[in-house]
Amino acid sequence: MRFGDNTVLERLDVDVPPGSFVTLLGPSGCGKSTLLKILGGILEPTSGEVRIGDLTAKQAVARKDIGLVLQRPALVPWKTARENVAMLRVLAKKGKANDGAADEALELVGLAHAADRYPHQLSGGMAQRVSIARALAMDPSILLMDEPFGALDAITRDAMNETLARIWAATGKTIVFVTHSIPEAVFLSDTVTVMGVRPGRIVDRVAIDLPRPRVADIVDTPTFVQYSTRLREQLAVPQEATV
């Protein structure tokens, strides 16, 4: 992928099996968000292609089969949590405002009790849960998440990771998740795709063979620490020296 003369991603091949949880982990500027935008059909790659089953990314987007969750939840301030979740479904003609799907999605993210609250009455973690519910209510088969918990404090972030792992197990969605955080990547993933910079490319793929369901104290287990150490070493290698 090039922006003018700047080659941002090069010789990159990512395979995301249906129903898997794949993380893109890498330093700032390695092209994680650019890759996610390409997967989500927002950016057209200058070469190469994305296939989602039998569809191109653009076709999958047209069928509303890709959900996107960004770092900032971007909720409509004058709508309640329920209305924010229902809104996209209604706009996409995937359902009616009061068909219960918004409440179901809010229940899944643990926010059934806050459905009538407005965004200013929600904490940062709650607002991000609403934005995840909004994406889930569209019932996409793939969820693309770009550092969704990057702006949250460490305690809320751990809780959000547990919630997301539970949602993933309950829904069977395919999730591609961008993060800078090694523990977050190990905790959530089936596979961590490690990226390097200049140009952005894949330097390692690490299958995370830890039992599920995973709960917060798994971070203290020897296997978790081994995975974290391997990833930290990968990220510390001068990226120009790796292929």
CB of 217 to ligand ATP, least distance (A): 28
Give CA separation, 213 vs 20, 68, 91, 185, 236, in Å. 14, 24, 35, 15, 30
Using CB under 6 A as the binding rule, whether residue 30 contacts ligand ATP is answered as yes
Of residues 84 and 189, the one with the C-beta less far from ligand ATP:
189
- Find the binder of ligand ATP among 23, 34, 80, 84 (CB under 6 A): 34
**Beta-bridge mates of residue 52:** 55
Quote the least distance from Cβ 195 to ligand ATP, whole Å.
7
- In this complex, which beta carbon is closest to ligand ATP, that of residue 3 or of residue 78? 3
Number of residues in contact with ligand ATP under rule CB under 6 A = 12
Binder of ligand ATP out of 25, 31, 119, 192 (CB under 6 A): 31
Judged by beta carbon, residue 5 or residue 49, the one nearer ligand ATP is 5
Question: How many residues are given for the chain?
Answer: 243
Shortest distance, position 231 Cβ to ligand ATP, whole Å: 15
Toward ligand ATP, which CB reaches closer, 72 or 117? Answer: 72
Say how far residue 36 (Cα) sits from the centre of its chain: 9
Tokens of 110: 């643990």
- Compute CA 176 distance to the chain's CA centroid, rounded to the nearest angstrom: 5
Task: Tell the smallest beta-carbon distance from residue 6 to ligand ATP (Å).
Answer: 6
* Binding window for ligand ATP (CB under 6 A); candidates: 28-36, 58-66, 126-134, 184-192: 28-36
- Candidate residues 18, 19, 29, 100; the one interacting with ligand ATP per rule CB under 6 A: 29
Alpha carbon of 63 to those of 104, 140, 141, 170: distances in Å?
A: 22, 9, 11, 23
Q: How far apart are CA 208 and CA 183, in angstroms?
A: 12
Q: Which is nearer to ligand ATP, 72 or 180 (CB)?
A: 180
Q: Which of 7, 8, 99, 171 binds ligand ATP (CB under 6 A)?
A: 8
Nearest to 133 by CA among 196, 195, 86, 63: 86
Name residue 208's amino acid: I
Encoded tokens for 120? 């200013």
Q: Which residues contact 73 (CB under 8 A, 6 or more apart)?
A: 119, 127, 128, 130, 131
Would you give the end-to-end CA distance of the chain in angstroms? 17
Binding-site string for ligand ATP from residue 44 to residue 73, where x marks contact by CB under 6 A and - marks none: ------------------------------
By CB under 6 A, the residues from 142 to 181 that bind ligand ATP are 180
| Torsions phi, psi for 67 (to 5 deg) | -105, 145
**Which positions lie near ligand ATP, rule CB under 6 A?**
3, 6, 8, 26, 28-34, 180
